[in-house]
Structure 1
Amino acid sequence: MPYSDPTSPQNFSSDLAETFEDCSLKELRAVKRYAEALVEHREREARLEEDEDTEERPEEMPDDVPARATLTIKEINDNRYYYWQWRDGDTIRSQYKGPVNSDG
């Protein structure tokens, strides 16, 4: 069976296909590793977004706070306040909810 060159996917631009054709074997292997890692990352992000959409939201949770947020108490100047808190990548985000009632 004769060997034939692979064809690029139909949705690739000709510039992108030519860029890959000009790459060395070492560069192509690095691109392959990067593309596989990028696919895994995007699939994971999509699953997290899907999970976030299906989580049950407390009624008092604002729309701009993710469903995965937790309620946290912070003490500021001897006063206690509720904050919604969640992780956004490497950053911890907070949004004010209101004062903690001392009545229990």
Structure 2
Amino acid sequence: MPEPPTPPTGLPDELVDSLEACSPEQLRQVATYADELATYRDEEPTETVAEPEADDRPDAVPAKATITVKEINDNRYYYWQWRDGEHVHSAYKGPVTPDG
């Protein structure tokens, strides 16, 4: 490879600088860890709170979906969640409490 690869846009400069300082073996370890972490976060367990009602489910959400609660920045939100093969899909439903 004549030139080093260009980092993806959106990565923090500090992360790019740290990666550029790594050895090839460390980079391979980081790649493995990053892939495993992404898979974990895609399938991160969430609290199941109720079975969805058919009349309340959007058209794009399948009948097998359940309602889950996810906490983001100390706020709790309802999401429709379902599995399609190896992928877990989510669709926003609304805040757990009406004020956020």
The reply to whether TM is greater than 0.5 is no
- Structure with bigger helix share is 1
Scaled by the length of structure 1, the TM-score of the pair is: 0.43
Higher-Rg structure is 1
Between 1 and 2, higher relative CO (CA 8 Å, sep ≥ 6) is seen in 2
